[in-house]
Amino acid sequence: MEGNNKLRSIPSIDRLLSIASADKEINAYPRELVVACLRQVAAEAREALRLNSEQECSPAALLVEAREMLSRCSRPSLRRVINATGVVLHTNLGRAPLGRRARECVTDVMAGYSTLEYDTETGGRGSRYAHVSEQLCQLTGAEDAIVVNNNAAAVLLVLSAVTKGREVIVSRGELVEIGGSFRIPDVLRQSGATLVEVGTTNKTHLSDYEQAIGPNTGAILKVHTSNYRIIGFTAQPDSRELAALAHRYQLPVIEDLGSGTLLPLAAGGQTEPTVAERLQLGFDIVTFSGDKLLGAGQAGIIAGKAQYVAMMKKHPLLRAVRIDKLSLAALEGTLMEYVLGEPEQTVPALAMLTIAEDILKERAIQLNRLILQPELSGLTAEVVPLSSPAGGGALPLAALRGYGVAVNMPGMSADKLESRLRQRNIPIIVRIQEERIIFDVRCLVETDMEEIAAALSEIGRPGA
């Protein structure tokens, strides 16, 4: 009986609408959306009461919930965040941020029509891949290049076009899995090729590859272990010798380079091979990502011998995995930084990965000063040394040394403060370490630091 009385305490939708008619904030939304939100908050209150919760069911309380729900409806789910984790290529946060030239290219293209597949010289149909293929060839030394929507699609297209119905030889130590359970054996199976494993997890020799070559061999595939390393008692054949072996049997040698870089890169005590280096060693096809160490938006890039790229351009799968115009614009703008500018400074991902420690320390001191400026009662903040991964399945052994600010808020646990920061209109994503909130400054710009200081000031106000 008591439960029924509680349920009767929930106001009707008509009553809530009548009360809400005087609320200017709620009236700014379409009536249909307001009704839907009121029904949802009423249903949630009803369910909470059934579970014997001490749910507040007054009209005022339900309208507060409805107002918050309406606010969430008017706010895009995919939006900008402040990355204070120190992880440069944070997969969950969109990996590489775009540089100025890339952003300008995207804005220009999305504002209207574009030359996506139009040739202004001839007035006829053009190729979307022509916008970046010349730059990619110039930067990598490839004979030709093509771009799809991500590196997984690039690997699938290469194998489907070049090795379908044939065997592909892969070292057991390179049968990788990346995020989302994307596994090389599964990609091979989907492409129509047959996997032939050689060697062992820790050791594979050139003779293992040669012994596996047979009349139905279609290619040798090398997979760069960009998201892990096998160390200790290990062996892999020299890449130039592997390429020579493949060519001796008139086979293409393919490399999935994963988070490929166009420039020599050393960060956190680790280096990555460049795409140009791999092609110079004799690899016929190299695939790599656009939104990792290259520093552009999501893309899968295929560079190499023209005869193999031509096979991909004719393959029906290409249309299913082709890159869209905005991602293509972001890639072209980023490649322009490599061709015309100083990418170590102008491509954000490269700049963040290679920034000097003393600059990070100065930035952390500045953030610490901003945080303490409002003189919040009891709040403590101090500059601390930090170590961060590169992220994005790149540079797995790299420990990027830097600095940040550790904060304690009086009367609030680190978990609670992290939640409050995360649920702001512009979410601030942080780390928790030793029961303190950590703001790593590696990926922050001036306005981010001002926003962090303002957020802490707001959260720390009495009654907030």
The pLDDT of residue 456: 93
Rounded Cα distance between 333 and 387, Å, is 31
The pLDDT of residue 291: 94
The pLDDT of residue 462: 67
**Mean of pLDDT values over 400-406:** 95
Proportion of the chain above pLDDT 90, given as a percent: 62
**Mean of pLDDT values over 343-359:** 94
Q: Which two tokens stand for residue 435?
A: 């029961």
Between helices 59-73 and 13-20, what is the axis angle to 10°? Answer: 80
Give the single-character DSSP code of 204. -
Q: What is the pLDDT of residues 201-210, one digit of tens each?
A: 788 899 999 9
Q: Which residues contact 222 (CB under 8 A, 6 or more apart)?
A: 170, 171, 174, 239, 242, 253, 254, 255, 256, 283
Instruction: Please list, residue by residue across 289-312, b when 16 or more beta carbons sit within 10 angstroms of its beta carbon and e when fewer do.
Output: bbbbbbbbbbbbbbbbbeebbebb
Question: Looking at the predicted structure, is the pLDDT value of residue 389 above 90?
Answer: no
**Helix extents (H) in 74-216:** 100-110, 130-140, 151-163, 184-191, 206-212
Rounded Cα distance between 455 and 57, Å, is 30
Give the single-character DSSP code of 179. G
Question: Where is average pLDDT lowest: 11-15, 154-158, 357-361, 441-445?
Answer: 11-15
Rounded Cα distance between 283 and 245, Å, is 11
Q: What is the pLDDT of residues 258-298, one digit of tens each?
A: 888 999 888 777 788 899 999 999 999 999 999 999 999 99
| 436-440 and 400-408 strand pairing | antiparallel
Proportion of the chain above pLDDT 70, given as a percent: 93
Rounded Cα distance between 312 and 158, Å, is 7
Q: How confident is the model at residue 1 (pLDDT cuts 50, 70, 90)?
A: very low
Q: Which two tokens stand for residue 13?
A: 């939708």
Helices (H), strands (E): how many in the chain? 20, 17
Rounded Cα distance between 290 and 327, Å, is 9
Question: Where is average pLDDT lowest: 21-30, 280-289, 309-318, 390-399?
Answer: 390-399
The pLDDT of residue 235: 77
The pLDDT of residue 417: 95
